[in-house]
């Protein structure tokens, strides 16, 4: 049963799930950061060794009910040890002014900070520590949170980016970005290429 303080599966969830099902190979170690309802992790569990994390205790309970057996309460990647072949994250990406913030646990899933990238920037500085050599990051990004800035943020941490899929809706386009380590460490950033 869905808890009102847990983000329900929506268009962004379904887009990210499609990419994960296409890209995650059997037997991989997968980490879903901010697993929420467990919708994605539960569907990957039959093919991969999946760990889900969330800061929201209601989300952890709901993920377990969905069949995710390995769930950990964590603020992003704090206390998480890898390596993981794939790290999946549907971050809070909505630009959020202070007066727009939602109180309670649901706010953690929605509040992307003033430009929509506050949580994404924190994640980018942490994820390299838990990613296996040759591993990938699947990140949901919205046109509302400046995809160019997101790509630059990861480029500065030594990741290259490709757009795996996108979904256009009224007033917004959702993207699944795939990041892989370049092996060059921190470097100068560049602008994202336009996706077709």
Query: 124-183, pLDDT tens digit by residue?
Result: 999 999 999 999 999 999 999 889 999 999 999 999 999 999 999 999 999 999 999 876
Task: Give pTM, 2 decimals.
Answer: 0.86
104 lies in a domain?
yes
pLDDT at 118 (0 to 100): 87
Query: Side-chain half-sphere of 89: how many Cα atoms within 13 Å?
Result: 27
Neighbours of 23 (CB within 10 A): 15
Distance of CA 192 to the CA centre of its chain: 19
Average pLDDT over residues 60-87: 92
- Domain total for the chain? 1
Q: Do the domain assignments include residue 44?
A: yes
Show Cβ contacts of residue 46 under 8 Å, excluding neighbours closer than 6 positions.
Answer: none
Beta bridge partners of 111: 94
pLDDT at residue 117, rounded to an integer: 85
CATH of the domain at 85: 3.40.50.150
Domain that holds residue 150: 11-181
Is 193 contained in some domain? no
Does residue 99 sit within a domain?
A: yes
């Amino acid at each position: 049963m869905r808890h009102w303080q847990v983000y329900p599966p929506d268009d962004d969830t379904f887009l990210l799930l499609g990419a994960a099902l296409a890209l995650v190979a059997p037997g991989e170690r997968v980490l879903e950061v901010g697993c929420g309802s467990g919708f994605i992790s539960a569907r990957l569990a039959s093919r991969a060794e999946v760990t889900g994390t969330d800061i929201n205790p209601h989300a952890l309970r709901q993920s377990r009910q969905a069949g995710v057996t390995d769930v950990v309460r964590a603020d992003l990647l704090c206390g998480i040890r890898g390596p993981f072949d794939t790290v999946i994250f549907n971050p809070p990406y909505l630009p959020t002014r202070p007066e727009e913030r939602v109180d309670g646990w649901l706010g953690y899933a929605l509040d992307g900070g003033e430009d929509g990238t506050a949580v994404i920037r924190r994640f980018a500085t942490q994820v390299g520590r838990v990613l296996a050599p040759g591993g990938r990051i699947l990140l949901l990004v919205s046109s509302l949170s400046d995809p160019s800035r997101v790509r630059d943020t990861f480029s500065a941490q030594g990741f290259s980016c490709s757009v795996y899929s996108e979904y256009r809706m009224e007033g917004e386009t959702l993207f699944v970005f795939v990041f892989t380590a370049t092996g060059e460490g921190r470097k100068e950033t560049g602008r994202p290429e336009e996706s077709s």
